[in-house]
Amino acid sequence: MFRIALAQMNATVGDLEGNAEKILRFAEEARKEGADLVAFPELALTGYPPEDLLLKPSFIEGNLRVLRELVPKLKGIISVVGFVDKDADIYNAAAIVADGKMVGVYHKVYLPNYGVFDEYRYFKPGSEYPIFASDDLTFGVNICEDIWYPGGPTYFQSLKGDADLIVNISSSPYHMGKGHHRERMLSTRALDNIVIVAFVNMVGGQDELVFDGHSLVFDERGEKLAEGAWFEEELLVVDLPVGEVFRTRLHDPRRRRVNLEEGEVPRISVPKFRRSPKPPISPPKREPPGPEEEVYRALVLGTRDYVRKNGFSKVVVGLSGGIDSSLTAVIAADALGPENVVGVAMPSQYSSEASMKDAEEVAKNLGIKFLTLPIRDIFDAYLRTLSEVFEGTEPDVTEENIQARIRGNLLMALSNKFGWLVLTTGNKSEVSVGYCTLYGDMAGGFGVLKDVPKTLVYRLAEYRNRVGERPVIPRSVLEKPPSAELRPGQKDTDTLPPYEVLDPIIEAYIEYDRSPKEMMRMGMEEEVVRKVVGMVDRNEYKRRQAPPGVKITPRAFGRDWRLPITNRFRE
């Protein structure tokens, strides 16, 4: 029996010494658990993705220096550590360390360059598929994207190199449903290649990205042996029945018919560690999270890490009494603790008494500090100052936006004075069509709901009310028609289609690149489709100036979306 430990750790980009200390702590824990091998995520030493830090020679040299200092400390166990390697170029690499000595290095072969990934900007691809052999096990190591290819390194390492085990180290970002897709892919790789697959994934938040952990082990029949926790650091320890791999291969003649002339598979010896017999262990049983739980936990983790990794301790949220600001405050309180969240109501003459009551009740239910800063006098002062210039014009969206910008100024003043990070409250539906105000409700440091469609906002609020000790978002917030309350009787539907109509159009256009004609063939109304698509196209200039926010859909604004601002193409 071979025991493996998968260390799904939360690395911080650029914190070379801090990440190395965390690697060492996990390695020591794995050794105490009797593990023969411990694997760490892709680029665990540097954090992922390091982006243009990789263009700094001092950063590359720093990561190599810290690795050299770390290697002798990794005693009594085989360790697989993600780092940046260098010769004439640089590589996304894995160091294979045995009993404090470097025995080999693997260079990532398939470099993703789509969606949020741009690894060809930085790395040279590897060209070899080494395997590592001790007396009781032969294993291959590859990195993230490598295992997504049916004919990739796993194919050569298991079939030509006769590896019993493939260790894939990953930093695979989260979006809704991706974890289940990953499971199917890894199961298929294990079954097709008759090999045990151990996948270790990063966990934590990095700017817009969240890594969900959920490390996985599949046996040679494609059956799941173990899975790690979602959205939490963990050392997952698993006993692998490596003897069954050879037995299963004897009954499968496919391996004898495969042409494996291509692909180098160097064989590297790894010393065997003499260990006393260890009692078998049973990995924990996991219940997969439901869709709302999955997204909610991603938002909490992404918010917590963005705030803490950037040196903030407290946040401030404008509480309007609406659903978006209420949910943002709840997520912030869950992420940071209620003592680190401040809610601010900023009523104008158009704010309803009911909304102010709802805002105060949310703050009370959460136990967060609550401030009230009325803006009516400030708004009147603006109007007086502009009265001569605006003479002869009718009130319109200009006056509405002035109110939003006053509120943004007040929140930023609190941020400057007390060091609180401003959390914006806009959702993906609003950001998509520009139903938001530059330097107003878009002013802030982090957009918690930036990638969350409005219809999902309601589902998340209902979910959080169900799972808490008691509901924290009042029913009145969930049931009243959405309104910015910037003019008398205003409703979101005065400007936008109902959100249950709007969100499918946004999903089709943004996430699937469907044209208006395709959407109409799907049964969507032409006039509404063309209005929404036009609004999306016209408002790229706003989105470019929005703060980062947690990515939870397959295609989020930011790294995923690169529409030109200056653009005359219309579908």
Alpha-carbon distance 489 to 472, whole Å?
A: 27
Rg value, the chain, Cα: 27
Residue positions annotated with a catalytic role: 42, 108, 144
Alpha-carbon distance 126 to 143, whole Å?
A: 11
Single out the residue of 430, 437, 424 nearest to residue 496, CA to CA.
430
> Which amino acid is residue 470, in one-letter code?
R
- Under DSSP, is residue 6 helix (H, G, I), strand (E, B) or coil? strand
The sign of the torsion formed by the CA atoms of 219, 224, 227, 231 equals positive
- Under DSSP, is residue 277 helix (H, G, I), strand (E, B) or coil? coil
- Under DSSP, is residue 169 helix (H, G, I), strand (E, B) or coil? strand
Decide: 136 and 2 in contact? Cβ < 8 Å: yes
Q: Which residues have C-beta within 8 Å of that of residue 277, sequence separation ≥ 6? A: none
Residue 54, classified by CB atoms within 10 Å of its CB into exposed (0-12), middle (13-18) or buried (19+), is buried
Alpha-carbon distance 143 to 123, whole Å?
A: 13
Q: Which residues have C-beta within 8 Å of that of residue 144, sequence separation ≥ 6? A: 42, 108, 112, 168, 169, 170, 171, 172
Residue for token digits 């991706």? 178
- Three-state secondary structure string covering 366-419: HCCEEEECCCHHHHHHHHHHHHHHHCCCCCCHHHHHHHHHHHHHHHHHHHHHHC
Single out the residue of 359, 373, 493, 380 nearest to residue 425, CA to CA.
359
- Three-state secondary structure string covering 287-334: CCCCHHHHHHHHHHHHHHHHHHHCCCCCEEEECCCCHHHHHHHHHHHH
Single out the residue of 328, 410, 405, 418 nearest to residue 373, CA to CA.
410
Helix (H) or strand (E) run with residue 216 in it: strand 216-218
Query: Using omega within 30 degrees of 0 as the cis cutoff, is the peptide bond preceding 150 cis?
Result: no
Decide: 267 and 208 in contact? Cβ < 8 Å: no
Decide: 493 and 483 in contact? Cβ < 8 Å: no
Alpha-carbon distance 236 to 238, whole Å?
A: 7
